[in-house]
Chain A
Amino acid sequence: PQDHFKVNCISFSCPFFAVYQVFENVAEKYDVMNDSMTLGIHRVWKDILVHKMNPSPGTLLLDVAGGTGDIAFRFINYVRSVRERQLQQKLRHHQNLSWQEISKSYEEEKRNPLGDSQVVVCDINREMLKVGKQRAQHLGYCEGLSWVRGNAEELPFDDDKFDVYTIAFGIRNVTRIDLALEEAYRVLKPGGRFLCLEFSHVSNPLLSRLYDLYSFQVIPVLGEVIAGDWKSYQYLVESIRRFPPQDELKAMIEDVGFLKVDYQNLNWGIVAIHSGFKL
């Protein structure tokens, strides 16, 4: 259980430090809290994101603010199963292969199960990365995965590097969203895709009231009971309300140069996936 939420004087002049400390406090219980707050539905949202991405083997993904690895692991599972299906199809089309040729292609699969796909998980918070690496080890993810500490507003990568850029439930915590979007544009290859999964706005008035009630009355209580930390979860709920709604975020994404920008509401706007291309 945490001591009461400590905020230094610095955080008043720099909201960046306040956010950093929130996630430092939150890291260990992050996954448990996500399951409790969303009743497990966040897993479905993340599955939908990766399905929408539909990565093919050989894709290079940058997952920003990906701390505990949820998107990265799903990406790896997805490309692994796509690759398996590819190899199976290849075998089926060549009916008159010799036994040596068949075993050679099984070996090929074992050597390269991801088909050269790779995901770089980038997070600014050391504690979140630590938890992510532990989970990876625990779940058996070792290949095609790297962990880098970096700031979404100033990424430590060269231009035109990645095929896909994702940021799931992270962009809300960035101080300068426009800078993060600019960086996303910069590091993507031409033809690359930007995908953002984030809490958004519910326009239906009745649902909106129920959602507000749940957010403000229940979530901080869950934070206190499960993680011993009311204030971090109060902060999370408030940061969701302050975040730009769907169309405003769409405009911001278009402003930095992305094309064919669109969004898809999940659960009536509680969550939205924004997508854009660097063309």
Chain B
Amino acid sequence: GRAGLSRAEPRAGEQEEVEVEVEVDGSFQLYPGHIPTSPLQKVLLAAGSACMALCDPYRHDMVAVLGETTGCLALPSLRDKMKNHPEGYRILQERPRIRLSTLDMARLRALPDGALGREYVRFLEDNKVSPDTRMPAKFVDDEELAYVIQRYREVHDLMHTLLGMPTNMLGEVVVKWFEAVQTGLPMCILGAAFGPVRLNARKLQVLATELVPWAVRSGRNANCVLNVYYEQRWEQSVESLREEIGIFPPP
């Protein structure tokens, strides 16, 4: 494919990074960070990222790539679920992003214990994670679907908070089971199925007898978690939000 380099205007409010706009096989960049790929490349990427994610569990970028390249059926259906729900529809229109620059951490920390905002910040601090480490979408060939997968990634930490699961291997697997049922994303299903491979027998037992059945039941019972405008519900208590969405209390 021929490649042409052209200047891309930096978006207002973005960092001063100018993305290189590259034309590949006649298709253009649809959003900053987008890399157009052919069907063959997507297949190769899916296979390669799956292998690499299994070999090296610290390659979170590979898990992200796997999600993007295999989500062609699940993502449109998620987007439609959002469109058909009043709160989800608003999220699609307003495109909120969960980032350290947009969150008022001081205000959230000041909220009472049990409030979503307070528990979320506690989760971030206890597990030493930050919402800014989420990979931006690269291989999704639709601008709106790219946002949907981005939203799913940014809401993942809130899932941990709502499910009360830590970021160790066991906690991640439980959250993946929940997300697999909720979103139908093949990446979640693969993660849920293969994640337990690295757990010892005792943890596997707890997983199989208590945690997974609970996660699956909650996932099926709950409304679509992407249809919740979390940024407008920081003051709401975690318990009441769980009840509203339909997540059963953790074991």
Contact = CB atoms under 8 A, between A and B. Distances in A.
Interface of A: 1, 4-9, 12, 216-218, 220-222, 224-226, 228, 230-231, 234, 238
18 contacts: A1-B60, A1-B61, A4-B19, A4-B138, A6-B17, A9-B18, A12-B18, A221-B41, A224-B45, A224-B48, A224-B49, A224-B65, A225-B45, A225-B65, A230-B35, A230-B138, A231-B35, A234-B22
B136 interface: yes
Given A226-B52, A230-B35, 20 more contacts: A4-B19, A6-B17, A7-B18, A9-B18, A12-B7, A216-B1, A217-B44, A220-B41, A221-B41, A222-B48, A224-B65, A225-B49, A225-B51, A225-B52, A225-B65, A228-B59, A228-B61, A230-B138, A231-B20, A231-B35
List 6 A-B pairs, minimum CB-CB distance, nearest first.
A225-B48, A1-B61, A221-B44, A238-B3, A7-B20, A217-B40
Nearest to B45: A221
B110 interface: no
A238 B138 CA distance: 20
Interface in B1-32: 1, 3, 5, 7, 17-20, 22, 24
A220 to B, nearest CB: 7
Contact of A225 (B18, B24, B62): B62
Nearest to B136: A4
Contacts of A220: 41
A109 B51 CA distance: 49
B240 interface: no
Contacts of A230: 35, 138
B33 interface: yes
A13 to B, nearest CB: 10
- Listed residue (B1, B38, B51) with the most chain A CB atoms within 10 angstroms of its CB: B1
Nearest to B51: A225
Given A221-B41, A224-B45, A234 B61 contact: no
